[in-house]
Structure 1
Amino acid sequence: MTPNLIALSMFGAMLVLLFTGQRMFGMIGFVAVVAAMLLWGDRGGYDLAFAQSIKLMSWFPLMTLPMFIFMGYILSESRLADDLYRMFHVWFGPVPGGLAIGTIFLMVLISAMNGLSVAGMAIGATIALPELLRRNYDKLMVTGVIQAGSSLGILIPPSVVLVLYAMIARQPVGKLWLAGVLPGLMMAGLFILYIWIRCRISPELGPVLSPQERAQVSRAEKIRLLRAGLLPFGIFLAMMVPFVTGYVRLVESSVIGALAATLAAAVKGRLTWAVVETATRQTLAVSCMFLWIILAALAFGAVFDGLRAVDALKGLFLEDLHLNRWTVLIIMQLTFLLMGTFLDDTAMLVIVAPLYVPLVDALGFDLIWYGVLYTITTQVAYMTPPFGYNLFLMRAMAPPEITLHDIYRSIVPFVGVMIVALALVIAFPQIALWLPETLYNR
């Protein structure tokens, strides 16, 4: 059996097993170990799994994963975002669509303290959505805003998805996080621009606060809210400034973030035993899930390395089909969009990374830049039916008056904005690469 046929058989077996409904990492790891045993004997299969386990456990930056997840859950469970949203409510109320714009700012800051889209979605759906609907904002507008804003959590550092990509692609997490900063802020800016233009054209979509409501908030109250709302921003600065300036490494930075979030919750009087227990349990569950996924991906990739499947795929695209490397890159992104209709981000990465990441490197593209492209494509996949992870979360958290049909319609313009952002990063790679190159070459 040729290496190409073996690789194709592995993909086929993996997809069949995934449809059984079993754990994704279990099925992928099972296919990898069985394939290794058939190719190189029993000892080869055992050695493959053991070697990848040792590689995973010895990867020191992986320590950042539980720290940032814990920080995010502490902030979420202690409701420190309530004051932040109240601040945006007051300061952006006079602007057309101001509360929706404030919601995007809220999501950016939550993303910068969590790394998972689920926390942003939970906070947006429980804090922002009821207030926006009460203020007579268009339900399609606000539903799309919350879904789009929460997707920023997997691009703006500390992104957990980029940690997963870093491990599989063997790239520095710090560089990937820095590469996600400007594209993430650019996408947030495009969201804000779209909201402002739409609400300027159709004021009924995002009505401003009335003069009477604005008069009820004194200047002293605005200043108090500004101080209270900037506390989460201070946590982010306390965590990232020492890292960016080179005083601490990434792992130490994550510890600072977790300690700062815990201290902030204690100072606000919201650090209860229930908050600590819930945050710890959720951190353990999410961290273990990602560890198993990374282990399965490493084992799967090791088999592909042994088969030299990447060389065969490169030859197919460039020599047999005579495609140029940019066409191959676009085809790869289109396959991510297609898979995103029925798979989540981690499943997509684990399934295709063993082929795509080495292929991108062989084609001469920067793997840091491609990590940002993958993440933006994942954001789009989060919001496209029928799978659409964010669609399901929104349906579970939204009030009854927001139907599934409304949720599907609401994401259309924001998906368009994301595709524009993706095209800009492809056309101008320095949007992603300028910051890591500048700081790491300093």
Structure 2
Amino acid sequence: MPYELIAILMFSTMMLMLLTGQRVFGAIGFVAVIAAFFLWGDRGGYDLGFSAGIRLMRWYPLLTLPMFIFMGYVLSESRIADDLYRMFHVWFGGLSGGLAIGTIGLMVLISAMNGLSVAGMAIGATIALPELLRRGYDKRMVTGVIQAGSSLGILVPPSVVLVLYAMIARQPVGQLWLAGVLPGLMMAAMFVIYIAIRCKLNPALGPVLPAEERDIPKREKYRLLGAGLLPFGIFFVMMVPFVNGWTSLVESSAIGALAAMLAAILKGRMTKEVFENSVRKTLGITCMFMWIILAALAFGAVFDGLGAVKAIESLFTEQLGLNPWVILILMQLSFIIMGTFLDDTAMLVIVAPLYVPLVGALGFDLIWYGVLYTITTQIAYMTPPFGYNLFLMRAMAPPEIGLRDIYTSIIPFVLVMVCALAIVMAFPEIALWLPGYIY
């Protein structure tokens, strides 16, 4: 059987298993090991999964994954996010659309605490959304703000998705995180500019808070500022030693986890329940990612053995004669299409064995492409009919926000994100300057 046909059969089998509701790592790992068994016999099939597991266990930077996830859950379970929102409520309430702008700031800091979009969505939907609706903000505006803001969690470091990409693409995690900083802040700034202009043109979308709610003593204002910026301080304490070369990435992640625990203890919020919930959720998320990375490594090894990457490269560049930029754009479009029914980890694991080597063969920088993939995933999260964030919002939103409101709310933010993607594609230095400068 031709290797090209084997590759197509593997993909179709895997997609069929995913459509039947099988877990991502189970479907991908099963297809990889069975394919290896039939291609290279008993020893090759068994050794493939075993060697992938050994390679995973020996990848030292993977220790950052549970550390950063634990840090995020400690900060969210101890309600430090509540202090953040109170700070934005007081400091930005006097602007038209100020609370919506503050919510974007909240999401950026939540992203720096956790690295997962689900955490930002949960906090935004439970803390910010009820307050914004109660203050008379347009429901479609605020629904879009929370969905767009929560998507920053997979781009702003410490991004868990970029850790997964680093493992599959064999790229340094630290460089990928630094590459996501400027694009993430740029996208957040674009969201803020859009909200400010929209609310300036139509103040009814984001009314100013009454003066009596904002006029509190300056001492209280500065106290809130200090409490709200605590997560930023933790991030600063964690990242400065790493950026200056004083600590490794793993050591910095341990500093972040310890700093988060210390902050919760000093504020009197580190209860037994908070600790147990944080540890339990950290264990669940970490195990899920470990299984997915293990399956991805096994699947990628089969594709390397088949030579499928070279065959696809030859198809695009020699037989079809496509320009490398056209191929890159087609790959991004395929991510958006897959994002209508898959989450970010599933998308990456399914196509990374093909796309990552192909991107390198076309002469593009794999650090830069990791940022492009992440931004495209953010867009896919919010693309109907089955965008991941759309259903998360539907599950968490109050009854007065319908599915039509949720779908309509994301249109302007998706357009902003597409513009951000185009800017980063046109100017790669936006992503590459910081890691190049630091390293």
Considering the TM-score relative to the shorter chain, is it more than 0.5? yes
CA distance in 2, matches of 1:309, 1:54: 24
Q: Residue 394 of structure 1 corresponds to which residue in structure 2? A: 393
CA distance in 1, matches of 2:212, 2:159: 41
Q: Residue 199 of structure 2 corresponds to which residue in structure 1? A: 199
Cα offset, 1:210, TM superposition:
2.2
Q: Percent identity?
A: 76
Moved over 6 A (4+): none
CA distance in 2, matches of 1:45, 1:89: 58
Residues 110 and 153, structure 2, Cα contact 8 Å, conserved in 1 = yes
Q: Residue 25 of structure 2 corresponds to which residue in structure 1? A: 25
Cα offset, 1:335, TM superposition:
0.4
CA distance in 1, matches of 2:428, 2:107: 25
CA distance in 1, matches of 2:55, 2:260: 31
Q: Residue 347 of structure 1 corresponds to which residue in structure 2? A: 346
Residues 339 and 388, structure 2, Cα contact 8 Å, conserved in 1 = no
CA distance in 1, matches of 2:17, 2:118: 27
Q: Residue 269 of structure 1 corresponds to which residue in structure 2? A: 268
Amino acid at match of 1:55: R
1:177-256 aligned at under 5 Å gives the runs 177-215=177-215, 217-256=216-255
- Note the residue ranges of structure 1 that are not aligned, 5 or more in a row: none
Cα offset, 1:223, TM superposition:
1.1
Q: Deviations over 1:307-334 (max 9, x none)?
A: 1111110110011111010000000000
Q: Residue 128 of structure 2 corresponds to which residue in structure 1? A: 128
CA distance in 2, matches of 1:69, 1:214: 35
- Note the residue ranges of structure 2 that are not aligned, 5 or more in a row: none
Amino acid at match of 2:209: L
Amino acid at match of 1:387: F
Cα offset, 1:212, TM superposition:
3.0
Residues 341 and 387, structure 2, Cα contact 8 Å, conserved in 1 = yes
1:395-410 aligned at under 5 Å gives the runs 395-410=394-409
Q: Deviations over 1:54-85 (max 9, x none)?
A: 00000000000000001111111110011111
Cα offset, 1:387, TM superposition:
2.1
Q: Residue 364 of structure 2 corresponds to which residue in structure 1? A: 365
Cα offset, 1:198, TM superposition:
0.1
SS of residue paired to 1:384:
coil
Q: Residue 435 of structure 1 corresponds to which residue in structure 2? A: 434
1:37-436 aligned at under 5 Å gives the runs 37-215=37-215, 217-436=216-435
Match status 1:3 vs 2:8? no
CA distance in 2, matches of 1:86, 1:336: 37
CA distance in 2, matches of 1:229, 1:369: 32
Q: Deviations over 1:336-360 (max 9, x none)?
A: 0111111110110010000000000
TM-score, with structure 2 as normaliser: 0.99
Cα offset, 1:25, TM superposition:
0.6
Cα offset, 1:416, TM superposition:
0.6
Cα offset, 1:271, TM superposition:
0.6
Cα offset, 1:214, TM superposition:
2.6
Q: Deviations over 1:17-60 (max 9, x none)?
A: 11221111111111111111111111000111111100000000
CA distance in 1, matches of 2:252, 2:212: 45
Count how many residue pairs are aligned between Structure 1 and Structure 2.
439
CA distance in 2, matches of 1:19, 1:134: 40
Amino acid at match of 2:297: L
Deviates more, 1:413-422 or 1:384-393: 384-393
Cα offset, 1:395, TM superposition:
1.2
Amino acid at match of 1:346: T
CA distance in 2, matches of 1:211, 1:298: 57
Amino acid at match of 1:39: L
CA distance in 2, matches of 1:72, 1:88: 20
CA distance in 2, matches of 1:29, 1:311: 22
Amino acid at match of 1:38: F
Amino acid at match of 1:396: A
Cα offset, 1:381, TM superposition:
1.0
Q: Deviations over 1:136-162 (max 9, x none)?
A: 000001010011001000000000000
RMSD of equivalent CA atoms: 0.8
CA distance in 2, matches of 1:30, 1:312: 24
Cα offset, 1:269, TM superposition:
0.9
Q: Deviations over 1:143-183 (max 9, x none)?
A: 10011001000000000000000000000000000000000
Q: Deviations over 1:389-430 (max 9, x none)?
A: 111111111111111111111111101110000000000000
CA distance in 2, matches of 1:381, 1:16: 21
CA distance in 1, matches of 2:401, 2:188: 24
Amino acid at match of 2:176: L
SS of residue paired to 1:156:
coil
Cα offset, 1:243, TM superposition:
0.7
Amino acid at match of 2:122: A
